[in-house]
Structure 1
Amino acid sequence: MLCSTAAVAQQSKYASAVDFPIVLAGNVGELRTDAFHAGIDIKAAKGIGSPVFAIADGYVSRVGVSPWGYGNSIYVTHRDGAVSVYGHLDRFNKKIGDWVRNQQYAKKSFAVDLYPQAEQFPVKRGEQIAYLGNSGSSAGPHLHLEIRDPRTGFPQNIIAKGYYEVADEVKPTIKSIKLYEIEVVDGVEQHFLKHSSAPAPDLVFTLRGRGYLAYEVVDYKSGAGNTMGIYSLTQSVDGEQNFGFALDFVDYGKQRFMNTFVKYDDHRATKLDVIRAYVSPNNRLAIYNKVIDRGVLRATDMPLAVRTAIRDDGGNEQIVQFKIVRDTSTATRPKAFGEVVRWNSEFNYLIGNLSVNIPREALYDDDFIVCEEVSEGVYQIGSDKIPLHRAMTLVLAVPPHDKSDKMGFVNEKNGWIGGSYKDGRLTATTNRFGAFKTSLDTIAPRITAVDLAQKSAVLRFKITDNLSGIDKYHLTVNGKWELAEYDAKSNLLTHKIKRNQTPISYDIVLTVTDAKNNKSTFKRTVKW
């Protein structure tokens, strides 16, 4: 559910993109799956269909339509080279919408990525360009808004830079502080949780040798119940900063490094924002400032005095202080299992008929990766608690049979991966570790007519697939290709028929194909 917080647009830099007080459902830097959120999400205070306006003079430089991602989207290039992005739109204004529809028919495709000429759609500040919606991979009606830097193209932190003023008198909160010890096990650095505690005035942690800290954080805006991402964190030890970051921008090319910015297993399992004051060897994020020895702490005879400050994009700050003292005891660590995989080296391994290739820089740190056949035909490769930055490749030797082209890999936890079969080998790539097996997809997609109402002249179908997923669809009416809008969230296809003045017959043929080329066809004649 999308919640909100009141905001007011500044008039000096950019106009508001909506005609009501802005309320936020998400901010820049908020932690999502495998990524930092790149814009602000403005709640649909007036519902789907409320107007969306250009925030400054410029021209429409790109228009996208997709059942995924930003759905219906518009990109406006402004006079200074900055680009504003408007995502999850319900529809475009008539001029842009008519042009997009013509392009869709010319390409015979619902999904399009279009780049009009600069003079084709000039826009003025405050001019309506679209209508707010819920298209693409949206969790609810809202407007996704980005402002991309004219030099780098990176989405900027809109609130932190003051482009929009958000009502925010709530300090961010450090809910817990965690201390991880670093020990070398069989030549590989391993991280073990030593302490986890809520902040307290007299908090003291103990550390045997080397380690680092992590912070579970949460932020809210005034009058809102939904969480936001924090803007910055600065950690000092004995008065000297040894770690810091500030989320002034989001680099799309480095989004997946978010998985090492956080404590991955906590974030993946519980969605907690546990931010590590530690920089992995394979961490290319450019958000850090004054990091000493990757944020690693070393126990000394004298207590370490730690001071950590977190700030939100509204400038509110929380500070915690605590101490770390040396622990002279000896730890008993669990035995390490698996193959040693170095983050900066390629790794190849053979398990029976399955070969595994983990490319260089697929891991963030050196680690132990389990590679074994745990039961017949089920292969455990790594742990789902370990993130993969680059996809690994699985190749299974399989004798040819009459359904070879229907084979694919399945991750027992995350579902269908797929793959291609050629010359006795099934090959697939995946960016998740886990338990893998093969499966056959021989079942065609299911087509259900939801609405063929004469009154509305709307064709609406629900299309689903049991395994490999919908790959493509093709709709004809009276033998002519017709545009069907696809909402992947609800599995709905919709087409509006242009009605004749007198009732005529319409021969409807819809073919849906899944990723393994299984096809279903729906045929019906209606008279409207």
Structure 2
Amino acid sequence: MRYILICIVLLIKGFYLFSQENSKIIFSSPLGIPLNVTGNFAELRNNHFHAGIDFSTKAQEGYRVYSIADGTITRIKVSPYGYGKAIYIDHPNGYTSVYAHLISFGDSLDRIIKDIQYKNREFSIDSVFSPGFTVKKGQVIGLSGNTGTSYGPHLHFEIRETETEFPVNPQLFEFGIQDTIKPVPHKIFFYPLESNSTVNGKNERISFSLEKKDRKFIIKKDRKNPVDEIIVSGKTGIGITVSDFYTDKSNSSGIYRIRMLLDSVFVYGFTMKQFSFDDTRYLNSHIDYAENVKSGTRIHKLFREPGNRLNIYDNKMTNGVLDFDQAGNHKLDILIEDINGNFSVVNVDLTAKTPVGQIIERSCEKVIPSGSKEIFEKDGIRVVFFPESLYDTLRLEYTLSSGAKFLSPVYKIHNRYTAIHKAIEVSIHLDKKHHDLYDKLVVVRYNNEKSPVSIGGSVKSHTITAKSLNFGYFSVMADTIAPVIKPLNIFEGAKFVKDNKIEIKITDNLSGIRSFTGTIDGKWVLFEYLPAKEKIIYNFDANLLKTGNKHELLLQVFDERLNRAEYKVSFYY
């Protein structure tokens, strides 16, 4: 009976909305092969929600990519990071389509882009065109690739609202993507949110595995979990892990909608219809961030912190926190849906008891409330928290230590299991005896098991200041070592032919690569940067370089502290 009532709720609140959300706009496919989804909209990624759909290109580059409708190419972007080579098409219906990680844009556009790169003497460009280049529905606009921050050939595809640039779930439109598989919940988590809150007598997070029984998911009872009931007391949060699969696909995808009911009353929910790029980092508040750092597991928290301003939540009047302040029995239901209307239901029976004892706050160095500018200053370090730096009140952890390889004390500012939204500002007072190194200094952050990572910084009045998006250990180091240039396929007297390319590896020990410049016979040439492979590539262009001659390559590489490396070599082409 309980399952039937839940289904009625779904029919009233879910399927009706689903039918309304499906746009009557029909776009054509961006690929000429069957659409195989390898990553869907709003999947939980590191520090962001996935803004589109990833389509498989069968582990190959070079598939033709088509415009999904008539429109105008208004923007082309080339970057060694992010979307790599990407094209943006505005359509008359108020939407913009985006095609990313391309290997090329087609001959005519490639020539235009190369001209811009040579004019700017820069590989990375972000060009906006007005009035733009007109394209027709089904017209080839480029070839699929693996450029930018991509870990295998595929097409990253987006639909955005042109006016707001908000990414919209592409499956709200008709692309013929089939899916008949229901989402699968794996574990449910209970979070005691105050010192007098408990779950089965413990003031710590407790998880329970789920199993399917009949048509619903319930708490799985086994040797690891022999409990007969779940007893809750005080303010409690709920979390859940879920996987979902498309028909005949092996990789898990993100969830479209989750709703939570307590005693048949809706208390919390979210729908992944669209979001703002400005808000995407709020993912770190939406999930259990600490668990993600520890194990890589991404838990949907079904309660919201004060500093979480995401617009995906169905009822912003409630924060999802369940307050069990009186004894009684309760029924908790969680409804999980994918965008094709497949759904699963989790049923959990709870026994509530009145909280015992007063709320006791644990000791800390300083209480940092969210939503306001706060400053922590001690022992030569100054940390500025901005109004949007924290999702909730922080009970700051702090220690001071020393390290032989550092030029300042080592400051532990809280721990890496707490997320930062807007970067904090870290300032460290410098010892004047290091004055001669001031232009080489960087702030470094590290954790016990990792090497120091530079976060940059600028020096003023014997203080170095940098921004950080993570807590951890902070100190100061000097970078006086030049980058390393390692030729991979070029050497003195090497011979190249038309379709060859020059490949060179460039690395840096601390502050990171800032820039590089390559010239052949004194003229600037375009090297493509592949930071994931620590490599730069020059593709020979017969229009720019005379064949049958001896040429001289000069490569200069600078790191962020302007240490310079240089490589000269003569070759034949």
Class of the TM-score when normalised by the shorter of the 2 chains: over 0.9
| Structure 1 residues 54 and 195: alpha-carbon distance in aligned structure 2, compared to 1, 3 A threshold | same
What residue is the counterpart of 1:517 in the other structure?
A: 562
What residue is the counterpart of 2:10 in the other structure?
A: none
Q: Is the contact between residue 242 and residue 291 of structure 1 (CA under 8 Å) also seen in structure 2?
A: no
| Structure 1 residues 183 and 60: alpha-carbon distance in aligned structure 2, compared to 1, 3 A threshold | same
How many Å apart are 1:369 and its aligned residue? 1.1
- 1:128-527 residue pairs with structure 2 within 5 A? 128-159=140-171, 161-183=172-194, 193-199=204-210, 201=218, 204-291=229-316, 293-299=318-324, 300-327=326-353, 330=356, 335-375=362-402, 377-398=409-430, 399=432, 400-413=434-447, 415-452=453-490, 453-455=495-497, 456-499=499-542, 503-527=548-572
Q: Which moves more between the two structures, 273-282 or 147-156?
A: 147-156
Q: Which moves more between the two structures, 241-250 or 420-429?
A: 420-429
**Which digits, 9 at most, give the CA deviation of each residue in 1:389-445, with x for residues without a partner?**
111111111125221111111111372211112221111010100111211111111
Unaligned 5+ runs, structure 2:
1-22, 197-201, 212-217, 220-227, 404-408
Q: Is the contact between residue 369 and residue 392 of structure 2 (CA under 8 Å) also seen in structure 1?
A: yes
Q: Say which SS state the counterpart of residue 444 (structure 1) adopts.
A: coil
Q: Is the contact between residue 27 and residue 173 of structure 2 (CA under 8 Å) also seen in structure 1?
A: no
Query: What TM-score do the two structures reach when normalised by structure 1?
Result: 0.92
**Which digits, 9 at most, give the CA deviation of each residue in 1:439-468, with x for residues without a partner?**
111111111111235234422111111111
Among 52, 55, 72, the alignment partner of 1:39 is: 52
Q: Is the contact between residue 27 and residue 229 of structure 1 (CA under 8 Å) also seen in structure 2?
A: yes
Unaligned 5+ runs, structure 1:
1-9, 186-190
Q: Which moves more between the two structures, 25-34 or 210-219?
A: 210-219
Q: Which amino acid aligns with 2:178?
A: A
How many Å apart are 1:374 and its aligned residue? 3.4
Q: Is the contact between residue 68 and residue 137 of structure 1 (CA under 8 Å) also seen in structure 2?
A: yes
Q: Which amino acid aligns with 2:517?
A: H
Q: Say which SS state the counterpart of residue 395 (structure 1) adopts.
A: strand
Q: Say which SS state the counterpart of residue 89 (structure 2) adopts.
A: strand
How many Å apart are 1:382 and its aligned residue? 1.1
How many Å apart are 1:117 and its aligned residue? 2.1
Q: Say which SS state the counterpart of residue 117 (structure 1) adopts.
A: strand
Q: Is the contact between residue 195 and residue 203 of structure 2 (CA under 8 Å) also seen in structure 1?
A: no
| Structure 1 residues 297 and 11: alpha-carbon distance in aligned structure 2, compared to 1, 3 A threshold | closer
**Is 1:111 paired with 2:124?**
yes
| Structure 1 residues 209 and 310: alpha-carbon distance in aligned structure 2, compared to 1, 3 A threshold | same
Q: Say which SS state the counterpart of residue 117 (structure 2) adopts.
A: helix
What residue is the counterpart of 2:137 in the other structure?
A: 125
| Structure 1 residues 167 and 416: alpha-carbon distance in aligned structure 2, compared to 1, 3 A threshold | same
What residue is the counterpart of 1:7 in the other structure?
A: none
Q: Say which SS state the counterpart of residue 477 (structure 2) adopts.
A: strand
| Structure 1 residues 13 and 365: alpha-carbon distance in aligned structure 2, compared to 1, 3 A threshold | same
Q: Which whole-Å CA distance do the structure 1 matches of 2:24 and 2:331 have between them?
A: 45
Q: Which moves more between the two structures, 518-527 or 373-382?
A: 373-382
Q: Say which SS state the counterpart of residue 451 (structure 1) adopts.
A: coil
Q: Which amino acid aligns with 1:361?
A: E
What residue is the counterpart of 2:14 in the other structure?
A: none
Q: Say which SS state the counterpart of residue 65 (structure 2) adopts.
A: strand
Once the two structures are aligned, what percentage of the paired residues are identical? 30
Q: Which whole-Å CA distance do the structure 2 matches of 1:207 and 1:396 have between them?
A: 45
Q: Is the contact between residue 369 and residue 381 of structure 1 (CA under 8 Å) also seen in structure 2?
A: yes
Q: Which whole-Å CA distance do the structure 2 matches of 1:51 and 1:172 have between them?
A: 33
Q: Which whole-Å CA distance do the structure 1 matches of 2:382 and 2:45 have between them?
A: 32
Q: Which whole-Å CA distance do the structure 2 matches of 1:330 and 1:418 have between them?
A: 49
**Which digits, 9 at most, give the CA deviation of each residue in 1:310-363, with x for residues without a partner?**
111222111011122124575898943331110122221222111111112311
Q: Is the contact between residue 85 and residue 100 of structure 2 (CA under 8 Å) also seen in structure 1?
A: yes
Q: Say which SS state the counterpart of residue 290 (structure 2) adopts.
A: helix
How many Å apart are 1:527 and its aligned residue? 2.4
Q: Say which SS state the counterpart of residue 209 (structure 1) adopts.
A: strand
Q: Which amino acid aligns with 1:385?
A: Y
Q: Say which SS state the counterpart of residue 420 (structure 2) adopts.
A: coil
| Structure 1 residues 513 and 267: alpha-carbon distance in aligned structure 2, compared to 1, 3 A threshold | same
Q: Which amino acid aligns with 2:345?
A: I
Q: Which amino acid aligns with 1:59?
A: T
| Structure 1 residues 209 and 48: alpha-carbon distance in aligned structure 2, compared to 1, 3 A threshold | same
How many Å apart are 1:72 and its aligned residue? 0.4
Q: Which whole-Å CA distance do the structure 2 matches of 1:271 and 1:502 have between them?
A: 52
How many Å apart are 1:205 and its aligned residue? 2.1
Q: Which amino acid aligns with 1:108?
A: R
Q: Which whole-Å CA distance do the structure 2 matches of 1:32 and 1:417 have between them?
A: 22
Q: Which whole-Å CA distance do the structure 2 matches of 1:169 and 1:502 have between them?
A: 58
**Which digits, 9 at most, give the CA deviation of each residue in 1:241-271, with x for residues without a partner?**
0001101012101111111111111123323
Query: What TM-score do the two structures reach when normalised by structure 2?
Result: 0.85
Q: Which whole-Å CA distance do the structure 1 matches of 2:355 and 2:526 have between them?
A: 70
Q: Is the contact between residue 20 and residue 45 of structure 1 (CA under 8 Å) also seen in structure 2?
A: no
Q: Which amino acid aligns with 1:439?
A: M
How many Å apart are 1:171 and its aligned residue? 1.2
Q: Say which SS state the counterpart of residue 68 (structure 1) adopts.
A: coil
